[in-house]
């Protein structure tokens, strides 16, 4: 028997009435077979709901099979809000995509749960989800550099460049920047944001849009990631 806690990122059907769920845990990704979870009266129905945080007891070596478990959180407000849910789905997709990279899974797991708890009860949820995306860049070792120009020590008159991976002075700027100085400042704030301090966060929609576009480009350019849920999100949030 094995016991662990995790958040359900996705599920696939398996044989006639069973499912395999993919969970992100403190040790990284785990997959678990749930017998009969597709049946209407299955007691395991809530163990195959994406976004649920569950505590599971499993048996089996290669293919873990669910024996018993508890639902710890179900993030009902997120699930009931299509826009929020779709944005969260983009984050789950990213976590899944990079779950095989060896980074600090415990740190990321704890961070995700903290952020989702905030998102569950917060209307202005987008900046918090962007924090996960920025934190993940850091964990994957491709974090943007904000402190000074990526190519020299200059700290003034800097512009953000996706291709350069951070701030650039006039001399070292590669291509055109797609984010305004104030948008860059807001993104930097999110990157360094301290959850413990619970500072008030107020980011204008214009800058949220700029940050979204930069994050998309950054993930595509540096990590070759393009999310499937991104297109659906455009239809909901308008960019």
Q: Which residues bind Zn ion (CB under 5 A)?
A: 149, 151-152, 154, 169, 172
The residue among 151, 18, 4, 19 whose CA lies nearest residue 72 is 4
How far is 235 from 90, CA to CA, in rounded Å?
14
- Chain-centre distance of CA 12, in angstroms? 20
Select 10 or 172, whichever has its Cβ closest to Zn ion.
172
CA torsion, points 124, 126, 127, 128, in degrees to nearest 10? 90
How far is 112 from 104, CA to CA, in rounded Å?
12
Least distance in angstroms from the C-beta of 104 to Zn ion? 30
How far is 71 from 123, CA to CA, in rounded Å?
24
Select 50 or 145, whichever has its Cβ closest to Zn ion.
145
8 A C-beta contact, residue 47 and residue 66: yes
Select 73 or 172, whichever has its Cβ closest to Zn ion.
172
Least distance in angstroms from the C-beta of 152 to Zn ion? 3
Select 143 or 151, whichever has its Cβ closest to Zn ion.
151
Least distance in angstroms from the C-beta of 189 to Zn ion? 23
Least distance in angstroms from the C-beta of 155 to Zn ion? 10
Select 106 or 170, whichever has its Cβ closest to Zn ion.
170
Least distance in angstroms from the C-beta of 207 to Zn ion? 24
Nearest residue to the partner Zn ion, using Cβ: 149
């Amino acid at each position: 028997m094995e016991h662990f806690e995790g958040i359900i990122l996705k599920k696939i059907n398996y044989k006639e009435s069973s499912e395999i769920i993919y969970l992100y845990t403190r040790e990284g990704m785990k997959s678990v077979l749930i017998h009969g979870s597709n049946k209407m009266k299955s007691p395991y129905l809530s163990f195959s709901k994406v976004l649920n945080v569950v505590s599971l007891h499993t048996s089996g070596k290669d293919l873990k099979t669910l024996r018993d478990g508890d639902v710890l959180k179900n993030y009902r407000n997120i699930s009931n809000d299509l826009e929020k849910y779709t944005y969260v789905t983009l984050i789950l997709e990213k976590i899944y995509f990079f779950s095989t990279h060896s980074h600090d899974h415990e740190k990321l797991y704890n961070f995700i749960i903290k952020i989702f708890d905030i998102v569950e009860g917060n209307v202005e949820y987008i900046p918090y989800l962007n924090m996960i995306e920025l934190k993940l860049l850091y964990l994957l070792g491709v974090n943007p550099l904000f402190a000074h120009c990526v190519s020299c020590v200059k700290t003034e008159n800097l512009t953000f460049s996706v291709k350069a991976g951070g701030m650039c002075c006039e001399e070292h700027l590669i291509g055109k920047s797609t984010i305004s100085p104030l948008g860059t400042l807001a993104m930097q704030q999110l990157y360094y944001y301290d959850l413990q301090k619970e500072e008030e966060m107020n980011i204008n929609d214009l800058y949220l849009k700029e940050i979204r576009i930069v994050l998309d480009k950054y993930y595509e350019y540096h990590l070759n990631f393009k999310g499937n849920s991104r297109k659906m999100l455009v239809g909901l949030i308008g960019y």
